[in-house]
Structures are given as C-alpha cells and as structure tokens.
Amino acid sequence: MVLFALVGGIAAAFWYFSHDATVRRELRKAPLRRIADLAEGERARIVGGVKPFERTLTSPLSGRPCVLYTVLVQRRVQSGKNSRWKTVIDDQQGVPFIVDDDSGRAIVDPTNARISLETDTRTRSGTFDDPTPAEQAYLASHGVSGQGWVFNNTMRYIEAVVEEHEVIAVLGAGVREPDPDARPSGGEYRSEMPTRLRLTSSAQHPLVISDAEGTTRT
C-alpha cells in the first residue's frame, strides 16, 4: 500500500507540474473579462467562439480545417525489460483567428503562445499495422521514419485542433484597433467606430490558450 501511494504521489506531482496542468491552472486563476470591457494593455482571460480571420489550416493527421493544431508523435523505446515513449515530433501550428463573445471581437495570433488542448484523435502504428498515408507523409515531412530494422516501429500519434465555432479561453493583453467589420454603436453614421482587440504574445507574457480549462463564461 505504501508503494502504491508513493507511485501515485509521484504521478500526481508529475501531472501537477506538467505543461498542460500549469497552463490550465493559470487560465483558471485569471480574471475573466468581456472583450468589450477589456482595456488596452490589461491582462485578463476572454472566452468566446472561434471564427476564421484570413485563412485556415488543415490538420496533418485528421485533415480537418482549423485555425490551430498541436501534434505529438512518440516512439516506443525498449530498454531491457522496460519500455518508454520517446517524443520524436512535438509540433504546434496556428494562424490568426477571431474570438467573439457577443460583446466584441478579438484577433488572436497564436504564435509563441502556451497552448493546452483536449486531444481530438489518438492513433497508433506498429509491427503489423502500417502508418496511414497521412501519418507516413507527416513523419516524412519531419524527417522521421516509422520503419525499424525489420518491422515497423511502434508509434503513437496525438492530435488536437481548434475548429470554427469551438469555444476557447485566451489569457493575454492586447491593443485596441478599429473594427472595420462591426457596425458603429447605435447604427448611426456619426457614432463612434467600434474597436476590436488584437492579442499577441510578448517575450515576457506569452498568450495562454486552451479549449479545456477556463472556457466557462462565469
């Protein structure tokens, strides 16, 4: 029982200090603001639905249109009687996208953001299970082979994407700029032009993005 408790405690500690756990804790603790109320330079959490801005991406494994994806590819490595998963590809790609919370809009540039997403697809290939054409192409694009000396390597592929209409949380500070796609308040010609936020990462304060934690609007 002591051994099980020790192992469980170590596993819990690893999770608590992992990238995903720290990102989600930071989002959970951050103050929530409506986009319309978030002042320029104020660092807070916004929550809203995703819309494409100028273009979208295609996720490399599942082929879904998206604005952001992460892919983790790991190879099983045998060491004596034990085995472990070795990360061979850790990929994160995104394009600027819109977050809309009904009060206003924000343009989010995910470059250099700290990201934690829920897994959307998880697949494997192995000795008698060849990688799919998409998996083979993705491995090749990163200079990785799924082939061992004789048989296929045992590999696992973990992909997460942010698609249109998905609700996400973003923590960061931004600048205000005119929103050419929004109506002036009151619908009158002389009314003040609405603004939108533009959120980007800085060296000191990277954006924090998740579709898993901090996405409640309360």
| Domain range summary for the chain, segments of one domain joined by + | 2-210
Q: If pLDDT is split at 50, 70 and 90, which confidence band does 218 have?
A: low
Mean pLDDT of 157-165: 97
pLDDT of residue 198: 96
Give me the mean pLDDT over the 43-63 stretch. 96
Task: Quote the percentage of the chain above a pLDDT of 90.
Answer: 64
Instruction: Say if residue 195's pLDDT is above 60.
Output: yes
Q: What is the pLDDT of residue 14?
A: 47
Look over the chain and give the mean of its residue pLDDT values, rounded to a whole number: 86
State residue 10's pLDDT score: 44
**pLDDT above 70: residue 4:** no
- What are the angstrom distances between the C-alpha of 99 and each of 13, 124, 186, 197, 205? 34, 33, 23, 10, 19
In which band, very low, low, confident or very high, does the pLDDT at 166 lie, cut at 50, 70 and 90? very high
Helix (H, G, I), strand (E, B) or coil at 124: strand
**Integer Cα distance of 12 and 15 in angstroms:** 5
Query: Using 50, 70 and 90 to split pLDDT, how confident is the model at 145?
Result: confident
CA 76 to chain centre: 25
* H/E segment holding residue 39: none
What is d(CA 101, CA 136) in angstroms, rounded to the nearest whole number?
39
- Tens of pLDDT, residue by residue over 24-50, are 899 999 999 999 999 999 999 999 999
Tokens of 114: 């700290």
Percent of the chain residues past pLDDT 70, beyond the cut: 85
pLDDT of residue 76 exceeding 60 = yes
- Token look-up 């045998």 returns 78
Identify whether the C-beta of residue 160 lies closer than 8 Å to the C-beta of residue 210.
no
Is the per-residue pLDDT at 173 higher than 90?
yes
Q: pTM for the whole thing?
A: 0.84
Q: Is pLDDT at 186 greater than 60 in this prediction?
A: no
What is the reported pLDDT for 149?
60
Give residue 130's pLDDT: 87
